[in-house]
């Protein structure tokens, strides 16, 4: 967020728990089940809205973090979602435009992970960022 010449950056990190557990978690996240990182995102956004005087939050997410972002957004009331702009890069789940003030999903034509999301077929949600 940017405020009066100051930029405040926050992050939520999803630690690895080993390959098999990470794959399992990613699958359930893509299917819509929230795990701890989604809960932490909700707390972070709520705290920002409560303590900072910001109009909008610019939120970047990548890979599985996009599934966590989608699951968190679905739990927020519309008035809060409408104050969040989402930029997803190489997403594991497509961020629907209705879930945020604005949502842009960037994928490579060579990437296949986002195709595991049953909603990816809606082409208006995807921007390819590849030269080939």
Beta strand 6-7 pairing with 2-3? antiparallel
pLDDT of residue 113: 78
pLDDT of residue 131: 43
Rounded mean pLDDT for each run of 10 residues along the chain, 132 residues in total: 64 91 91 93 95 91 95 97 95 91 88 74 55 40
**CA–CA dist 112, 123 (Å, integer):** 14
Q: Is the pTM of this model over 0.75?
A: yes
Residue with tokens 């705290």: 47
Count of Cβ atoms closer than 10 Å to residue 42 Cβ: 18
pLDDT of residue 130: 44
């Amino acid at each position: 967020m940017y405020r009066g010449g100051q930029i405040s950056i926050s992050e939520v990190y999803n630690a690895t728990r080993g390959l098999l557990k990470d794959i399992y978690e990613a699958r359930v996240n893509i299917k819509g089940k929230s795990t701890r990182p989604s809960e932490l995102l909700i707390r972070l956004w709520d705290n920002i809205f409560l303590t900072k005087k910001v109009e909008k939050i610019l939120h970047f997410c990548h890979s599985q973090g996009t599934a966590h972002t989608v699951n968190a957004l679905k739990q927020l009331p519309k008035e809060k979602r409408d104050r969040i702009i989402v930029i997803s890069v190489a997403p594991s789940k497509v961020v629907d435009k209705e879930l945020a003030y604005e949502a842009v999903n960037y994928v490579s034509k060579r990437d296949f992970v986002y195709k595991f999301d049953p909603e990816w077929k809606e082409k208006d949600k995807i921007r390819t960022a590849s030269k080939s």
